[in-house]
Amino acid sequence: MNKIIYALLFIFIITSSFQKPPVGKKPSVIIDKTVKARIDEALRSFVDSGRVAGASALIFEKNKEVYHNAFGFADREAKTPMDRNTIVRIYSMTKPVTGVALMKLYEKGAFQLDDPLSKYVPEVANMKVYKGVDASGNLILEPLKRPITVRDITRHTAGFASATDLPGLSELVQQADLSNPNHTLEQMVKKLASLPLLFQPGEQWSYGPSVDVQAYLVERLSGKPFAQYLQENIFTPLGMTNTRYVVPENDKSRFAATYRKAEDGQLTRVPDLDNLFNTKDFALKPGGWGLTSTLDDYMKFARMLVNKGTLGKARILKPETVKLMATNQLSDSVTQRMWLPSKGQVGFGIDFAVRLHPPASKEENNGAVGEFFWDGAASTLFWVDPANDLTAVLFVQVFPFDGQVHKRFRDAVYGSFQVK
Protein backbone atom coordinates (compact mmCIF):
# COMPACT_ATOMS: atom_id res chain seq x y z
CA MET A 1 0.00 0.00 0.00
CA ASN A 2 2.80 2.40 0.91
CA LYS A 3 4.47 1.79 -2.45
CA ILE A 4 1.25 2.72 -4.25
CA ILE A 5 0.87 5.92 -2.21
CA TYR A 6 4.50 6.94 -2.87
CA ALA A 7 4.07 6.23 -6.58
CA LEU A 8 0.93 8.34 -6.81
CA LEU A 9 2.61 11.17 -4.89
CA PHE A 10 5.61 11.08 -7.24
CA ILE A 11 3.34 11.26 -10.31
CA PHE A 12 1.45 14.22 -8.78
CA ILE A 13 4.65 16.17 -8.11
CA ILE A 14 6.01 15.57 -11.61
CA THR A 15 2.78 16.43 -13.45
CA SER A 16 2.05 19.52 -11.33
CA SER A 17 5.44 21.00 -12.19
CA PHE A 18 4.35 21.10 -15.86
CA GLN A 19 0.97 22.69 -15.26
CA LYS A 20 0.30 26.05 -16.90
CA PRO A 21 -0.16 29.02 -14.60
CA PRO A 22 -3.80 29.77 -13.83
CA VAL A 23 -5.62 31.96 -16.33
CA GLY A 24 -5.34 35.62 -15.38
CA LYS A 25 -2.11 35.16 -13.43
CA LYS A 26 0.19 36.40 -16.18
CA PRO A 27 2.27 39.48 -15.31
CA SER A 28 0.17 42.48 -16.27
CA VAL A 29 1.33 44.70 -19.11
CA ILE A 30 0.18 48.10 -20.28
CA ILE A 31 1.10 47.94 -23.96
CA ASP A 32 -0.82 45.13 -25.65
CA LYS A 33 -2.18 44.85 -29.20
CA THR A 34 -5.24 46.93 -28.39
CA VAL A 35 -3.16 49.71 -26.88
CA LYS A 36 -0.73 49.70 -29.81
CA ALA A 37 -3.62 50.18 -32.20
CA ARG A 38 -4.99 52.95 -30.01
CA ILE A 39 -1.62 54.77 -30.01
CA ASP A 40 -1.33 54.38 -33.78
CA GLU A 41 -4.75 55.94 -34.18
CA ALA A 42 -3.89 58.86 -31.90
CA LEU A 43 -0.62 59.67 -33.68
CA ARG A 44 -2.20 59.26 -37.12
CA SER A 45 -5.04 61.57 -36.14
CA PHE A 46 -2.59 64.30 -35.07
CA VAL A 47 -1.16 64.31 -38.58
CA ASP A 48 -4.37 63.72 -40.55
CA SER A 49 -6.13 66.58 -38.75
CA GLY A 50 -3.26 68.96 -39.46
CA ARG A 51 -2.51 69.34 -35.77
CA VAL A 52 1.16 68.47 -36.42
CA ALA A 53 3.29 67.83 -39.49
CA GLY A 54 4.77 64.65 -38.04
CA ALA A 55 4.62 62.54 -34.90
CA SER A 56 6.65 59.64 -33.57
CA ALA A 57 6.70 57.71 -30.30
CA LEU A 58 8.76 55.04 -28.59
CA ILE A 59 7.77 53.04 -25.50
CA PHE A 60 9.70 50.52 -23.44
CA GLU A 61 8.02 48.32 -20.85
CA LYS A 62 9.80 45.89 -18.53
CA ASN A 63 13.10 46.59 -20.31
CA LYS A 64 11.74 45.74 -23.78
CA GLU A 65 10.70 47.88 -26.71
CA VAL A 66 6.96 47.44 -26.95
CA TYR A 67 5.95 50.26 -29.29
CA HIS A 68 7.39 52.40 -32.02
CA ASN A 69 5.76 54.15 -34.92
CA ALA A 70 5.98 57.40 -36.85
CA PHE A 71 3.51 59.31 -39.01
CA GLY A 72 3.71 62.34 -41.25
CA PHE A 73 6.72 64.46 -42.03
CA ALA A 74 9.80 65.69 -40.21
CA ASP A 75 10.00 68.27 -42.99
CA ARG A 76 6.69 68.64 -44.79
CA GLU A 77 8.04 70.89 -47.54
CA ALA A 78 10.93 68.55 -48.34
CA LYS A 79 8.66 65.47 -47.95
CA THR A 80 11.09 63.99 -45.42
CA PRO A 81 9.23 61.33 -43.41
CA MET A 82 9.22 61.37 -39.63
CA ASP A 83 11.08 58.31 -38.33
CA ARG A 84 13.03 57.08 -35.32
CA ASN A 85 16.25 58.65 -36.63
CA THR A 86 14.72 62.12 -36.93
CA ILE A 87 16.58 64.72 -34.86
CA VAL A 88 14.30 67.17 -33.03
CA ARG A 89 14.66 70.19 -30.79
CA ILE A 90 13.72 69.01 -27.30
CA TYR A 91 13.72 72.46 -25.68
CA SER A 92 12.85 72.05 -21.97
CA MET A 93 13.42 68.29 -22.04
CA THR A 94 17.01 69.55 -21.70
CA LYS A 95 16.18 70.41 -18.07
CA PRO A 96 16.06 66.84 -16.67
CA VAL A 97 19.42 66.17 -18.35
CA THR A 98 20.86 69.20 -16.56
CA GLY A 99 19.36 67.99 -13.29
CA VAL A 100 21.08 64.62 -13.67
CA ALA A 101 24.36 66.38 -14.43
CA LEU A 102 24.08 68.48 -11.28
CA MET A 103 23.09 65.54 -9.09
CA LYS A 104 26.16 63.59 -10.16
CA LEU A 105 28.14 66.33 -8.43
CA TYR A 106 25.79 66.12 -5.43
CA GLU A 107 26.70 62.44 -5.12
CA LYS A 108 30.37 63.44 -4.96
CA GLY A 109 29.65 65.77 -2.04
CA ALA A 110 30.28 68.94 -4.06
CA PHE A 111 27.28 70.67 -2.46
CA GLN A 112 24.19 70.15 -0.31
CA LEU A 113 20.73 71.03 -1.57
CA ASP A 114 20.07 73.51 1.22
CA ASP A 115 23.40 75.29 0.82
CA PRO A 116 23.08 78.98 -0.08
CA LEU A 117 23.58 79.27 -3.82
CA SER A 118 25.86 82.25 -3.17
CA LYS A 119 28.41 79.86 -1.63
CA TYR A 120 29.17 78.74 -5.19
CA VAL A 121 27.70 81.57 -7.27
CA PRO A 122 28.54 84.77 -5.36
CA GLU A 123 26.81 86.91 -7.98
CA VAL A 124 23.43 86.11 -6.38
CA ALA A 125 24.40 87.05 -2.81
CA ASN A 126 22.88 90.53 -2.70
CA MET A 127 19.79 90.22 -4.87
CA LYS A 128 16.63 92.13 -3.99
CA VAL A 129 12.95 91.29 -4.40
CA TYR A 130 10.55 93.27 -6.59
CA LYS A 131 7.58 94.80 -4.72
CA GLY A 132 6.22 97.15 -7.39
CA VAL A 133 6.88 100.75 -8.42
CA ASP A 134 6.32 104.05 -6.64
CA ALA A 135 4.39 107.06 -7.95
CA SER A 136 7.44 108.13 -9.96
CA GLY A 137 7.82 104.73 -11.59
CA ASN A 138 10.87 103.76 -9.55
CA LEU A 139 11.25 100.14 -8.45
CA ILE A 140 10.33 99.27 -4.87
CA LEU A 141 12.68 96.55 -3.66
CA GLU A 142 13.07 94.60 -0.41
CA PRO A 143 15.96 92.48 0.88
CA LEU A 144 15.95 88.69 0.89
CA LYS A 145 14.28 87.04 3.86
CA ARG A 146 16.54 84.06 3.32
CA PRO A 147 19.20 83.15 0.75
CA ILE A 148 18.40 81.39 -2.50
CA THR A 149 19.40 77.74 -2.01
CA VAL A 150 20.55 75.13 -4.49
CA ARG A 151 17.25 73.33 -3.85
CA ASP A 152 15.41 76.47 -5.01
CA ILE A 153 17.06 76.39 -8.43
CA THR A 154 16.21 72.69 -8.87
CA ARG A 155 12.49 73.17 -8.19
CA HIS A 156 11.79 76.65 -9.65
CA THR A 157 11.30 78.43 -6.34
CA ALA A 158 14.27 80.82 -6.58
CA GLY A 159 12.21 83.71 -7.97
CA PHE A 160 14.44 84.60 -10.90
CA ALA A 161 12.85 87.02 -13.34
CA SER A 162 12.36 86.11 -16.96
CA ALA A 163 9.55 87.18 -19.27
CA THR A 164 7.21 89.41 -17.27
CA ASP A 165 4.71 92.20 -17.77
CA LEU A 166 5.31 93.79 -14.37
CA PRO A 167 5.70 97.61 -14.41
CA GLY A 168 9.33 98.68 -14.30
CA LEU A 169 10.62 95.13 -14.39
CA SER A 170 9.66 93.99 -17.87
CA GLU A 171 11.90 96.66 -19.41
CA LEU A 172 14.87 95.49 -17.34
CA VAL A 173 14.32 91.87 -18.32
CA GLN A 174 14.12 92.84 -21.96
CA GLN A 175 17.33 94.86 -21.72
CA ALA A 176 19.15 91.97 -20.02
CA ASP A 177 18.57 89.83 -23.13
CA LEU A 178 19.10 86.67 -21.08
CA SER A 179 18.82 84.24 -23.99
CA ASN A 180 21.35 86.00 -26.19
CA PRO A 181 23.20 83.05 -27.77
CA ASN A 182 26.45 85.00 -27.89
CA HIS A 183 26.62 85.15 -24.08
CA THR A 184 28.30 82.47 -22.02
CA LEU A 185 26.49 80.90 -19.07
CA GLU A 186 28.58 83.08 -16.77
CA GLN A 187 27.52 86.25 -18.60
CA MET A 188 23.91 85.12 -18.57
CA VAL A 189 23.91 84.45 -14.82
CA LYS A 190 25.56 87.79 -14.06
CA LYS A 191 22.83 89.56 -16.02
CA LEU A 192 20.17 87.50 -14.26
CA ALA A 193 21.66 88.36 -10.87
CA SER A 194 21.47 92.08 -11.72
CA LEU A 195 17.67 91.85 -11.90
CA PRO A 196 15.27 91.83 -8.95
CA LEU A 197 13.65 88.55 -7.97
CA LEU A 198 9.93 88.15 -8.62
CA PHE A 199 9.28 86.87 -5.09
CA GLN A 200 11.00 85.76 -1.92
CA PRO A 201 12.84 82.44 -2.40
CA GLY A 202 10.68 79.42 -1.63
CA GLU A 203 7.35 81.24 -1.62
CA GLN A 204 6.12 80.52 -5.15
CA TRP A 205 6.72 78.19 -8.08
CA SER A 206 7.65 80.13 -11.18
CA TYR A 207 9.10 78.48 -14.27
CA GLY A 208 12.13 80.30 -15.54
CA PRO A 209 15.91 80.37 -15.93
CA SER A 210 16.76 78.44 -12.75
CA VAL A 211 18.04 75.47 -14.73
CA ASP A 212 20.46 77.68 -16.66
CA VAL A 213 21.85 78.63 -13.26
CA GLN A 214 22.16 74.90 -12.53
CA ALA A 215 24.25 74.51 -15.68
CA TYR A 216 26.50 77.37 -14.57
CA LEU A 217 26.82 75.71 -11.15
CA VAL A 218 27.93 72.51 -12.89
CA GLU A 219 30.62 74.50 -14.67
CA ARG A 220 31.77 76.13 -11.43
CA LEU A 221 31.89 72.88 -9.47
CA SER A 222 33.36 70.65 -12.19
CA GLY A 223 35.74 73.12 -13.77
CA LYS A 224 34.52 72.03 -17.21
CA PRO A 225 32.35 73.67 -19.88
CA PHE A 226 28.79 72.48 -19.45
CA ALA A 227 28.51 70.80 -22.88
CA GLN A 228 31.75 68.92 -22.27
CA TYR A 229 30.54 67.75 -18.86
CA LEU A 230 27.30 66.43 -20.38
CA GLN A 231 29.19 64.59 -23.07
CA GLU A 232 31.66 62.94 -20.70
CA ASN A 233 29.29 62.10 -17.86
CA ILE A 234 25.94 61.34 -19.52
CA PHE A 235 25.91 61.12 -23.31
CA THR A 236 29.02 59.00 -23.91
CA PRO A 237 28.36 56.52 -21.06
CA LEU A 238 24.75 56.04 -22.23
CA GLY A 239 25.63 55.88 -25.92
CA MET A 240 23.55 58.98 -26.71
CA THR A 241 25.39 59.71 -29.94
CA ASN A 242 22.72 61.99 -31.42
CA THR A 243 22.15 64.32 -28.45
CA ARG A 244 23.94 67.67 -28.66
CA TYR A 245 23.51 71.40 -28.98
CA VAL A 246 24.86 71.70 -32.52
CA VAL A 247 23.65 69.44 -35.34
CA PRO A 248 26.60 68.76 -37.68
CA GLU A 249 26.29 69.40 -41.38
CA ASN A 250 26.16 65.72 -42.31
CA ASP A 251 23.13 65.18 -40.05
CA LYS A 252 21.05 68.17 -41.10
CA SER A 253 19.01 66.06 -43.53
CA ARG A 254 17.63 64.27 -40.42
CA PHE A 255 16.88 67.52 -38.57
CA ALA A 256 13.14 68.19 -38.27
CA ALA A 257 11.58 71.49 -39.20
CA THR A 258 9.42 73.24 -36.65
CA TYR A 259 5.92 74.52 -37.34
CA ARG A 260 3.66 77.16 -35.89
CA LYS A 261 -0.10 76.66 -35.77
CA ALA A 262 -2.19 79.75 -36.46
CA GLU A 263 -5.54 80.50 -34.86
CA ASP A 264 -7.27 79.05 -37.91
CA GLY A 265 -5.40 75.77 -37.36
CA GLN A 266 -3.07 76.10 -40.33
CA LEU A 267 0.54 75.02 -39.88
CA THR A 268 3.29 77.34 -41.07
CA ARG A 269 6.92 76.30 -41.18
CA VAL A 270 9.19 78.37 -38.94
CA PRO A 271 11.76 79.98 -41.28
CA ASP A 272 15.25 78.51 -41.06
CA LEU A 273 16.65 81.99 -40.38
CA ASP A 274 14.52 82.15 -37.21
CA ASN A 275 15.76 78.74 -36.10
CA LEU A 276 19.55 78.96 -36.19
CA PHE A 277 20.49 78.11 -32.61
CA ASN A 278 21.25 74.44 -33.28
CA THR A 279 23.08 74.97 -36.57
CA LYS A 280 25.89 77.17 -35.28
CA ASP A 281 28.25 76.75 -32.34
CA PHE A 282 27.12 79.69 -30.20
CA ALA A 283 28.76 80.60 -26.89
CA LEU A 284 25.60 79.86 -24.88
CA LYS A 285 24.98 76.23 -23.88
CA PRO A 286 21.83 76.57 -21.77
CA GLY A 287 20.80 74.18 -19.04
CA GLY A 288 17.11 74.86 -19.53
CA TRP A 289 16.79 74.34 -23.28
CA GLY A 290 18.80 73.93 -26.46
CA LEU A 291 19.57 70.22 -26.85
CA THR A 292 18.55 68.16 -29.86
CA SER A 293 17.99 64.41 -29.73
CA THR A 294 16.41 61.34 -31.32
CA LEU A 295 13.76 58.97 -29.94
CA ASP A 296 16.30 56.25 -29.23
CA ASP A 297 18.79 58.60 -27.60
CA TYR A 298 16.28 60.16 -25.24
CA MET A 299 14.83 56.74 -24.48
CA LYS A 300 18.27 55.68 -23.22
CA PHE A 301 18.15 58.58 -20.79
CA ALA A 302 14.61 57.65 -19.68
CA ARG A 303 15.48 53.97 -19.28
CA MET A 304 18.47 54.88 -17.15
CA LEU A 305 16.06 56.64 -14.81
CA VAL A 306 13.50 53.82 -14.64
CA ASN A 307 16.41 51.44 -13.96
CA LYS A 308 17.33 53.58 -10.93
CA GLY A 309 20.37 55.23 -12.48
CA THR A 310 21.80 52.41 -14.56
CA LEU A 311 21.65 51.37 -18.21
CA GLY A 312 23.70 48.38 -19.27
CA LYS A 313 27.16 48.78 -17.79
CA ALA A 314 26.75 52.54 -17.27
CA ARG A 315 25.97 53.78 -13.76
CA ILE A 316 24.95 57.43 -14.05
CA LEU A 317 23.28 57.96 -10.65
CA LYS A 318 22.71 55.99 -7.47
CA PRO A 319 19.17 54.64 -6.89
CA GLU A 320 18.69 56.89 -3.88
CA THR A 321 19.57 59.95 -5.99
CA VAL A 322 17.01 59.06 -8.66
CA LYS A 323 14.43 58.57 -5.91
CA LEU A 324 15.29 61.98 -4.45
CA MET A 325 14.90 63.65 -7.85
CA ALA A 326 11.52 61.94 -8.33
CA THR A 327 10.23 63.03 -4.90
CA ASN A 328 8.01 66.12 -4.59
CA GLN A 329 10.01 69.06 -3.24
CA LEU A 330 7.15 71.56 -3.00
CA SER A 331 5.45 72.17 0.34
CA ASP A 332 1.74 72.90 0.54
CA SER A 333 2.60 76.51 1.39
CA VAL A 334 3.67 76.99 -2.24
CA THR A 335 0.21 77.72 -3.58
CA GLN A 336 1.12 79.91 -6.57
CA ARG A 337 2.31 77.45 -9.22
CA MET A 338 1.68 79.13 -12.58
CA TRP A 339 0.45 76.46 -15.03
CA LEU A 340 1.94 73.45 -13.21
CA PRO A 341 -1.55 72.20 -12.16
CA SER A 342 -2.42 71.87 -15.85
CA LYS A 343 -0.08 68.86 -15.92
CA GLY A 344 -2.36 66.96 -13.55
CA GLN A 345 -2.22 66.40 -9.80
CA VAL A 346 1.51 66.85 -9.59
CA GLY A 347 4.23 68.29 -7.46
CA PHE A 348 7.75 69.06 -8.58
CA GLY A 349 10.93 67.21 -7.74
CA ILE A 350 14.42 67.99 -9.01
CA ASP A 351 13.83 69.04 -12.62
CA PHE A 352 10.80 66.77 -13.07
CA ALA A 353 7.09 67.06 -12.42
CA VAL A 354 6.05 64.24 -10.07
CA ARG A 355 2.57 62.70 -10.17
CA LEU A 356 1.08 62.59 -6.65
CA HIS A 357 -2.48 61.41 -7.35
CA PRO A 358 -4.38 59.68 -10.16
CA PRO A 359 -6.56 61.85 -12.40
CA ALA A 360 -9.83 62.89 -10.76
CA SER A 361 -11.66 63.65 -13.99
CA LYS A 362 -11.55 62.87 -17.69
CA GLU A 363 -10.16 66.36 -18.36
CA GLU A 364 -6.93 65.65 -16.47
CA ASN A 365 -3.84 64.10 -17.98
CA ASN A 366 -3.73 60.37 -17.35
CA GLY A 367 -0.80 58.60 -15.74
CA ALA A 368 0.42 56.44 -12.88
CA VAL A 369 1.09 57.74 -9.38
CA GLY A 370 4.83 58.03 -8.86
CA GLU A 371 5.65 58.82 -12.48
CA PHE A 372 8.02 61.70 -13.17
CA PHE A 373 8.17 63.57 -16.45
CA TRP A 374 8.69 66.75 -18.40
CA ASP A 375 8.05 68.19 -21.83
CA GLY A 376 9.33 70.77 -24.29
CA ALA A 377 8.11 73.98 -25.91
CA ALA A 378 7.62 72.30 -29.31
CA SER A 379 5.20 69.86 -27.59
CA THR A 380 7.65 66.99 -27.06
CA LEU A 381 7.07 64.77 -24.00
CA PHE A 382 8.63 61.98 -21.98
CA TRP A 383 7.76 60.18 -18.79
CA VAL A 384 9.13 57.53 -16.47
CA ASP A 385 6.55 55.23 -14.84
CA PRO A 386 8.33 53.15 -12.16
CA ALA A 387 5.13 51.39 -11.04
CA ASN A 388 4.72 49.78 -14.47
CA ASP A 389 8.42 49.80 -15.44
CA LEU A 390 7.45 51.88 -18.46
CA THR A 391 9.12 54.77 -20.27
CA ALA A 392 7.61 56.77 -23.13
CA VAL A 393 8.96 59.43 -25.50
CA LEU A 394 6.75 61.43 -27.86
CA PHE A 395 8.20 63.72 -30.53
CA VAL A 396 6.36 66.39 -32.48
CA GLN A 397 7.58 69.87 -33.47
CA VAL A 398 4.77 72.36 -33.18
CA PHE A 399 4.18 75.74 -31.53
CA PRO A 400 2.43 76.92 -29.48
CA PHE A 401 2.68 74.19 -26.89
CA ASP A 402 -0.17 71.71 -27.44
CA GLY A 403 -1.21 70.02 -24.21
CA GLN A 404 -4.04 68.17 -25.96
CA VAL A 405 -1.49 66.17 -27.95
CA HIS A 406 -0.06 64.97 -24.65
CA LYS A 407 -3.44 64.20 -23.16
CA ARG A 408 -4.57 62.13 -26.13
CA PHE A 409 -1.27 60.26 -26.25
CA ARG A 410 -1.49 59.47 -22.55
CA ASP A 411 -5.12 58.37 -22.92
CA ALA A 412 -4.04 56.08 -25.75
CA VAL A 413 -1.38 54.52 -23.54
CA TYR A 414 -3.30 54.15 -20.27
CA GLY A 415 -6.90 54.18 -21.47
CA SER A 416 -9.53 56.84 -20.94
CA PHE A 417 -10.43 58.03 -17.48
CA GLN A 418 -12.39 55.62 -15.34
CA VAL A 419 -14.02 56.45 -12.02
CA LYS A 420 -12.26 54.38 -9.36
**244 has pLDDT over 60:** yes
Structural domains of the chain ordered from first start: 33-89+226-414 (3.40.710.10), 104-222 (no CATH)
Say yes or no to pLDDT of 85 above 60.
yes
Residue 150 in this model has a pLDDT that exceeds 90: yes
Averaged pLDDT, 333-338: 96
CB 120 within 8 A of CB 217: yes
pLDDT at 420: 61
pLDDT band at 13 (very low <50, low <70, confident <90, very high): very low
Asked if pLDDT for residue 285 goes beyond 90, the answer is yes
Q: What confidence tier does 27 reach under pLDDT thresholds 50, 70, 90?
A: low
Average pLDDT, the chain: 93
pTM: 0.93
Identify the pLDDT of residue 15: 39
Overall average pLDDT of the 9-24 stretch: 41
Query: In the chain, what percentage of residues exceed pLDDT 70?
Result: 93
